[in-house]
A and B are shown apart, each in its own frame.
Chain A
Amino acid sequence: MATDLPRQSITLPTRGRPRIGDLGLRGLAGAAAALLVVVMVALVYEVAREAWPSIREFGLGFLISEDWNAVTNKFGALDPMWGTVVTSLVALLIAVPMAVAIGLFLSELAPRALRTPVTLLVELLAAVPSVVLGLWGILVMGPFLGQHVEPFLKDHFGFIPLFSGYPSNQGLLPACLILTIMVVPIVASISRELFLSVPGELKQGAMALGATRWEMVRSVSIPQVSGGLVAATMLGFGRAVGEAIAVTQVIGGTLGIHWSLFEPADTMASRIAAQYAGTATHLQRASLAYLALILLVISLITNIGAQLISVRIQRRMQGSSA
């Protein structure tokens, strides 16, 4: 992450008054940076402004209301929030251990010749456009799940509420898997960099004391990078929460909260994508903007949190090496 690169600051003596060229470039560059801040502020302001009619009408009760009715003009975020929480948490549950394992593989366990190509392949997975993933999800993975995997799960594990309900080609399960595919490369590449940054002396020390490679990883590497892994997980969570397109293609866009992973559902992001073009009332449009505002707040919190963690780790590393 760019925040942890060391800054080379050139303090050179300035002679006399600043030169025009300096002012020109400095002004231009400064203006660009100012524009960045303006865009960021404008983004928050504009989304909040579009959401305002709904905020004024429902206030914070929006967050716990299950309504979504264009006829009675009552809306609430609880249904899609539930979908967002379930899909993101399940995706993280599967993706994070897998991604950490991949990061380990790429940094420690793989034969040297394989490391660069496999790293590239994992990063390519992150580069796949979400709409292509969604196309594959809706036409290939969804039917496969609905016709083979879900009936199997229902027959053998149907007593678990998660696997009750009627198998369907769309629903929470394909959405969770799609999000997993999206989150794994992100967390894996960060984990890989984290594991590469563990000081060699610590690792060799453990090996010298007689640890196997796995024990070294478990007792040295993972604790060392645990803070960074938390940050990576937060970034993965932010990504999962915000994904709209691939999710809306496979999730079925329904109201209602149910335990079953087979049932169609909705997330906040996918609801915005599905309904924004054609809202029946202004309050509905504002309520979708309210959902966008919630997503924005979640992404701000996870992102800033992840950065603060990484800054703290960096300071601790610099402190300990002093």
Chain B
Amino acid sequence: MILHDEKSDMEMRRMQRAKRFGALSLALTSVLLAAACGSSGSSGTTSGGGGGSSNVLVGAGSTLVAPLMSQWEPDYTKSSGVTITYGAVGSGGGIDAITSRAVDFGASDAPLSSDQAAACKTCLQIPWALAATVVTYNVKGVDDKLKLTGPVLADIFMGNITSWSDPKIAALNAGVSLPDTHITPIYRSDGSGDSYVFTSYLSAVSPDWQSKVGASTQPAFPTGTGAEKNSGIAAAVQSTDGAIGYVAVAYIASESLNEALLQNAAGKYPEPSVKAITAAAAAVTEIQPDGSVPLVNPPASAPDAYPMSTYSYAIVPQSSPKAEALKAFLTYAITDGQSFGPDLGYPALPDAIVTNDKTEIAKITT
């Protein structure tokens, strides 16, 4: 069929190339399809994240625990050979991901609501970090450590106080010259445990806030600008004159942000230090039936307690195909892993919590 002229050799070669290319891509496609069917088949209905190998643990959630997690990842891999894949998508995302079993473990600063707990189908909440949410601000000419009270904070975030020179703020900060810059509240637009802690605190100290907005991982903030993740709030506050927002305590030091001092129930203004957070944890020792320990707004009997402290929880299914790997990792996190905390501003877990955690971890089976 091929007539011999100058073009025929080129055409023959092109023919062969085309055939080989076609065969190769068809082969590749079928191999990939086979691999996909294989892996999705082995995952089954209660699969963990991506594929069946148990030397990878996939988790998602809180950006508050993310700084700690980033220290745990390389350290734990060194000692155990298991790779930890963590996505800091926000506590809301973590709860969502573990509910749909897209990941092996979730991380949330907000405990599961009753609806979420039902949807998660026997998930355990295990506190594995102790931290705090801190109010941060950026006003030209105003130094660090401005004093605020809960009701004033609520007014700011409800839009009732719109200027930094407002008398209510000035009354708390005698001797500080406040410019009349417009206040821009910055809040978390994604599902956030820090939002939950922040709005729980505001709901506890301001009945107005409780009735108008309430506490949630994704509240409908009446005014202000949204930002995603702790890092987003830090970025937004830093770049906007007059901004006020809330971040996990680790981000204050790492981004050199200003921190506002909140008045606690005893009337004092403790800094969100390791000592103050530990005091809050010592004041609230009762573990709720669902495993959570709310630390927000501790009573006046704890004069040095920081009012917006919080535990961060690992959310794990009670039955998981990766039970052994999960148990090992969780045990590491609440024991050896805690040593990374204080440098970030996160105190180590109280002993009573660690003991209780170990009991909970033992409940995990395949």
A residues near B (Cβ < 8 Å) are 68-71, 143, 146, 166, 168-170, 252-255, 264, 266, 274-275, 277-282, 284-285
Cα distance A68–B236 in the bound complex, in angstroms: 22
- Residues of chain A within 8 A (CB-CB) of B97 are 277
Size category of the B interface is 35 or more
Closest 3 CB pairs of A and B: A278-B93, A278-B191, A253-B226
- Are A253's CB and B217's CB within 8 A? no
Contact residues, B276-319 vs A (CB, 8 A): none
- Are B226's CB and A254's CB within 8 A? yes
B351 at the binding interface (Cβ < 8 Å): no
- Given the interface contacts A252-B226, A275-B191, A280-B92, does A166 sit within 8 Å of B182 by beta carbon? yes
- Residues of chain B within 8 A (CB-CB) of A278 are 89-96, 190-192, 217-218
B150 at the binding interface (Cβ < 8 Å): no
B79 at the binding interface (Cβ < 8 Å): no
- Could you write out 21 A-B pairs with CB less than 8 Å apart? A69-B220, A70-B191, A71-B214, A166-B182, A168-B184, A253-B226, A253-B227, A274-B189, A275-B189, A277-B90, A278-B89, A278-B91, A278-B92, A278-B190, A278-B192, A278-B218, A280-B92, A280-B95, A280-B116, A280-B217, A284-B218
- Given the interface contacts A69-B220, A264-B225, does A253 sit within 8 Å of B93 by beta carbon? no
Known: A252-B225, A278-B89. 19 other contacts (CB 8 A): A68-B220, A70-B220, A71-B215, A71-B219, A143-B239, A166-B184, A169-B240, A253-B189, A253-B226, A254-B225, A255-B221, A264-B226, A266-B226, A274-B189, A275-B190, A278-B93, A278-B95, A279-B93, A280-B92
Contact residues, B193-219 vs A (CB, 8 A): 213-219
Contact residues, B217-274 vs A (CB, 8 A): 217-221, 224-228, 236, 239-240
> How near does chain B come to A291, taking the closest CB pair, in angstroms?
15
- Residues of chain B within 8 A (CB-CB) of A280 are 92, 95-96, 116, 191, 216-218
Q: What residue in chain B is nearest A278 (Cβ atoms)? A: B93
> How near does chain B come to A267, taking the closest CB pair, in angstroms?
13
B6 at the binding interface (Cβ < 8 Å): no
- Are B220's CB and A170's CB within 8 A? no
Q: What residue in chain B is nearest A69 (Cβ atoms)? A: B220
- Are A277's CB and B93's CB within 8 A? yes
Cα distance A252–B236 in the bound complex, in angstroms: 9
Contact residues, B87-114 vs A (CB, 8 A): 89-97
- Residues of chain B within 8 A (CB-CB) of A168 are 184, 225, 240
- Residues of chain B within 8 A (CB-CB) of A253 are 189, 225-228
- Are A285's CB and B96's CB within 8 A? yes
* From B94, B217, B240, contact of A70 by CB (8 A): B217
- Residues of chain B within 8 A (CB-CB) of A169 are 236, 239-240
* From A68, A143, A170, contact of B225 by CB (8 A): A170
Cα distance A275–B217 in the bound complex, in angstroms: 12
> How near does chain A come to B63, taking the closest CB pair, in angstroms?
10
* From B96, B184, B236, contact of A277 by CB (8 A): B96
Which of A68, A166, A253 has the most B CB atoms < 10 Å from its CB? A253
Which of B97, B115, B191 has the most A CB atoms < 10 Å from its CB? B191
- Are B224's CB and A254's CB within 8 A? yes
B36 at the binding interface (Cβ < 8 Å): no
- Are A281's CB and B115's CB within 8 A? yes
Cα distance A143–B239 in the bound complex, in angstroms: 8
- Residues of chain B within 8 A (CB-CB) of A68 are 220
Q: What residue in chain A is nearest B87 (Cβ atoms)? A: A277
Which of B93, B95, B97, B214 has the most A CB atoms < 10 Å from its CB? B93
- Residues of chain B within 8 A (CB-CB) of A255 are 220-221
B15 at the binding interface (Cβ < 8 Å): no
